[in-house]
Amino acid sequence: MNTKNILIVDDIHPIFIEQAEALGYHCNYQPAIKPEQALEIIGDYEGLVIRSKFLVDRKVIDISKNLRFICRAGAGMDNINEDYAREKGIMLINAPEGNMDAVGEHAIGLLLGLMNNINRSDAEIREGVWKREANRGYELKGKTVGIIGYGFMGKSFAKKLSGFEVSVIAYDKYKTGFSDQYAREVSMEEIVKQADLVSFHVPLTAETKGLVNDEYLFHFKKPIFLLNTSRGKVVQTKAVLNAIKQGKILGAGLDVLEVEKFPALAEQDWFNELRQCNKVILTPHVAGWTFDSYRRISEVMADKLSKLTRRVIN
């Protein structure tokens, strides 16, 4: 068996394949492969490249006897059993640097759209309705933006906000001492007291699953705008809808949902209410998925693979 084999089970930019093959790897590009088909051959591969559709659980890791590294074309690693992979000596590569600008810009777009009722106004005008007063918006200037999670995505959002004359505060449970020119580190209690706008940029873990529920939102001292471009299961959609009805949330921008894609999404008991709520902007999990990030993610993965390969050789 040629140990420098990489199985690619999802769509990625060809620049990764070009650069991996320049390092001496052979890439088997199978973006349409079914999981059960991949399991039949995965034991022959040293490397695996995935995006979001492929789950790497204990079963997959146990079958992958020769697997040495997994590349995740994106930021989130929640579809990989990270602890078990590391226990088995498998190195993990992801590429948050590749789509952090896309996420930061998308979050800005959602926020401006919400604060100025852009989607609602557009829909009304197309239906022959002209409402100026009902669509009067808010300015960002002077507001306090709370960022939950200050990794690549959170910092990118903060950096994009730097020209809007806002106060940016950030909380991250997993790091301290991260204050910079874009954001000031604070406690979650300070976020709850001060924030006019809250944006979530956290990984999906046992601790963050369902983080935003009725109780969490109850404690905010001001009505807020809420953004989620991280993972859908971090935010309970029903809690957001409840808070909108109570006036605690002025508007929500959700790029991700607890359940995604149809028909499963339409079957949720909260979907019809969500669909009809004109204080919510929805996008189909595309914040980090631009034409530009498509290439950049693969470039970042290839660069990290190159460093890994050199380290092993040396």
Instruction: Encode pLDDT of 211-245 as tens digits.
Output: 999 999 999 999 999 999 999 999 999 999 999 99
Mean pLDDT confidence for 130-141: 97
Instruction: Encode pLDDT of 89-113 as tens digits.
Output: 999 999 999 999 999 999 999 999 9
Instruction: Encode pLDDT of 261-286 as tens digits.
Output: 999 999 999 999 999 999 999 999 99
Pairwise pLDDT comparison (158 vs 313), residue with the higher score: 158
Q: Please give the pLDDT value at position 271.
A: 98
Tell me which residues are annotated as active site.
231, 260, 285
pLDDT reading at 59 higher than 90: yes
Instruction: Encode pLDDT of 3-18 as tens digits.
Output: 699 999 999 999 999 9
pLDDT reading at 246 higher than 80: yes
pLDDT band at 313 (very low <50, low <70, confident <90, very high): low
pLDDT band at 1 (very low <50, low <70, confident <90, very high): very low
Q: Is there a cis peptide before residue 31, judged by omega within 30 degrees of 0? A: no
Give all domains of the chain, ordered by start, each with its CATH number: 5-94+292-313 (3.40.50.720), 100-282 (3.40.50.720)
Global pTM exceeds 0.85: yes
